Every structure is written in C-alpha cells, then in structure tokens.
Amino acid sequence: MAATDAYLNVVLDTMLDEQPLADARDAGLVTELCYGATRRQLTLDAVLSRFADRGLDAIEDRVLAALRLGIYQLFFTRIPRHAAVGETIDALKAVGVERAAGFVNAILRKAAALSELPKPEGDEVSQLVFETSHPAWLVKRWQRQFGPERARAMLHADNEAPALVVRTNTTRRDRDALLAELQEAGVEVRATTLSPLGLVFASPGKVEELYGYAEGLWQVQDEAAQLVTVFAQLPANARVLDLCAAPGGKACHLAQTNEVVAVDVHANKLPKIEREAKRLGLTLQLQQADATRPLPEALGEFDAVVIDAPCAGLGTLRRHPELRYRRQEQDIAALAHVQREILEQGAQALKPGGLLVYAVCSTDALEGPDQVELFLRSHPEFTTEPPAGLAHLPTWQGHLRTLPGPEGLDGFFAARLRKLY
C-alpha cells in the first residue's frame, strides 16, 4: 500500500497477478474496495476529518489508505460493521503498521456509531463535492457546460462500476455469430445498443480467461470508443494514419478494414499494440514519432488521419477514478495547446479529399467543439462532414458526443472533417 502515480487499474492488475487469490470472489471484493474507496475518496476524507485528531496530510500513506477502506466498508458495502473494523485492523498488522492499530480502531469505531453518512453543509456545489467525490472546480465546470441536471447525472455516473464491453473482430466473426457462440458457451452477454460491433459481459471475471480472448475474436473497448471509428465511416482499404495510437483499440479496429500506420510518441507502448494486433490476427505498421512535430517524410500522405488526442480524460473517470483528483483546471488549456499542434501535423499528412477524424475521451468543450471550431477558422480547406446513415448516433452540432450518465457510456467527442483541397 505505497503511494504511486500509476493508474489504479495497472497497479491492481499487477498486484493480483503477482499475488493471485485462490477464490475469484476475494479478487472481486478487493477490486470493489480499491475502486470504491478511490471513487469516494473526497467523501471518505470528509468523514475522517471529523474524527481524526490531526490533518489527513500528516497521516502515513498506508494508514490513511486503511482508514479510507474501513470507512468505505462502513457506509458503501453490506459488510457487517464489526467485520469492517476488525478486517481493517488485521490488514494494518499484515503490512507492518500495527503501531497505528489503536488510532485507526478509535476512528473507525466512532464512524461506525453513525447510522448514516453525515449530511454535508454549504451550497449545492459543496454538497455535490461530498456526495459524488469530485473536485469543486469540475462540479462547477460541468454545471456551466451541461446544466445542473445533466451535471448531477454525470457526477453520479462516474461512481458506478463500468461494464466490460468488447468489440467484435470482424475479420474472424460477425457480431451475431460471436454473440451466439458466447451464449452457447454459457456466457451471459448482450449486444450493445449503439455500436454495431459491441458486446457487454454481465459477470466477466478475468478478461484473459473469457471465451474468445485467446482466439482473438474480440478486443476490450468501451462502446463510446467504438463509436468514434463507426462515426469516422472511413472507406474500405484506405491508407490510414492513427496518431497517438496507444493503447491500440482504434488502431486495431481500423486495421480490420484498412491499411494502418500506428504512431505514438512512447516507444515502450508500441509492443503492446503489436501484441494485440497479433492476437487478433491483424497487420499494421508501427512508428515512434512525436505527433506535435513534423512527421517523418517517409510516411507519405494518407487517405485518412485519425487523431485520438491526449486529453484531460474527463469522460473516463468511472474507469480511472484517481484522475479526478490529479487533474487541475489549468491542465485543460495546456492539453488543448498540445491538441492544436497534433491537429496541424495530422492535417499536413492528409491527401486533398481525405478525411480527418479528431477525437478525445473528454467532456470538455475546450478540448472538443471549441478545438474543432478554432481549427476550421484557420483551415478554410477543411469542412465538417457528418457521416451518412448514422442518425441514431448521439451527436451535437454534427459531431459525435457521448456523455457519462444513465446511458452507461464513457464521455467521448469526435469530429469528421473533409480536406477539400
């Protein structure tokens, strides 16, 4: 339980691989506790602050983690209260900080005496910060951009565990055939509503052990992310440049029907894309390059350029709950500057008549529609061109837009632009 800047899913998956639990139910509980305590961190800290005799910054990382896990069990699980307290103390002893057992025990017992979470004080923003565990700046920003009702729905949706969604590898199966195979194998699964390629697993367990993984019949990808490539509606057999390609979901999706050159600035991420493509039986060309700088001339020109740009990630907070605490409001403008540089390079690599698809897994207008509007103002050779026959997709001003909420989607934005000359 050491502090780290790594993503929770990476740390947790690594730990469960290195120290596997015999019972899958135990692994499920560990996962729920880790994700749940992270999603509810601001709420848990507000409760802890009522009972701690020192500032939370003064509490050792492992002790603070144990306190958060204990409070989470008390108020957000069905675990009996005495068990939540006892198991937390045992965990402290197991990691060698039994000296803090008395301190933690005292706080958890005081919290356990409460019949429910204490009601937050202050204005609506303060209440939403407490209820949904999002920083105040983000609450205000979403209220301003989406209105109070939708903002509230988005905030609450971020605290729901996402389903496992996969995209059918159409080079090996069509979706209906794969759905039938999975159901015949006893897997509880259903088709996605919006994506023509997606399947949702009800109780997935370990991804690598699911039917069809080893055979390369599907790839994990949220439905909203699948919609970006669906919305792109690229012509078959086009030569496509995928900038910022890691972790490779869209690159592999594109490679099912096109010749793909996948570029990423991080050379260490390219082997993972290569392994995924190999598992799926797909071929693509990999290239390390900084997409904010002029691209290697040897790459040539492309029929289509897809830019899944680095962004604030505000549409994926249910999958990466720690990100809501790491992001600062000023990060958005800084990332928007990087996105503009990548758009410029992508535009240069595109043939006249080609398609430029710009996407971000963010809800923010500055990274989405505002970014595209700014690009179009300085590039009269480009025009917005929504795809044909996809009126069922969620759009806004001709662009693809999905938002966190009761629909169960991540937040994505995508624009489809035609280079006229």
CA–CA separation, 246 and 248 (whole Å): 5
Residue 119: inside a domain: no
CA distance 102 to 115: 22
Active site residue 34: no
* Residue 1 confidence (pLDDT): 42
CA distance 186 to 180: 10
State mean pLDDT over 353-362: 98
Please state whether 313 falls in left (phi above 0), alpha (psi between -120 and 50) or beta.
Answer: left
Residue 165 in contact with residue 222, Cβ under 8 Å?
yes
Percentage of the chain modeled with pLDDT above 70: 98
How far is Cα 116 from Cα 71, in angstroms, rounded to an integer? 11
Same domain, 254 and 274: yes
Domain identity same for 187 and 60: no
Number of folded domains in the chain? 4
CATH of the domain at 254: 3.40.50.150
Q: Is residue 296 part of a domain?
A: yes
pLDDT interval class at 16 (50, 70, 90):
confident
pLDDT at 11: 78
- Asked if residue 2 has pLDDT above 60, the reply is no
Cα of first residue to Cα of last residue in the chain, in angstroms, is 56
Residues 237 and 371 placed together within one structural domain of the fold: yes
Q: 269: which residues sit within 8 A by CB, 6+ positions away?
A: 246, 247
Q: Answer yes or no: is pLDDT of 4 > 70.
A: no
Please tell me whether residues 200 and 345 are part of one structural domain: no
Tens-place pLDDT, residues 30-78: 889 999 999 999 999 999 999 998 899 999 999 999 999 999 999 999 9
Rounded CA gap, 345 and 361, in Å? 20
Q: Are residues 354 and 315 in the same domain?
A: yes
CATH number of domain containing 191: 3.30.70.1170
- Within this chain, do residues 297 and 414 fall inside the same structural domain, yes or no? yes
Domain boundary among 47, 79, 112: 112
Q: Which domain holds residue 97?
A: 8-112
Is there a domain that residue 117 lies in?
A: no
The CATH number linked to 32 is 1.10.940.10
Q: Which of 34, 252, 311, 361 is catalytic?
A: 361
Is the domain of 53 the same as that of 142?
Answer: no
Minimal CA–CA distance to 414: which of 271, 250, 218? 250
Assess contact for 227 and 252: CB atoms under 8 A. no
Decide if 64 is inside a domain. yes
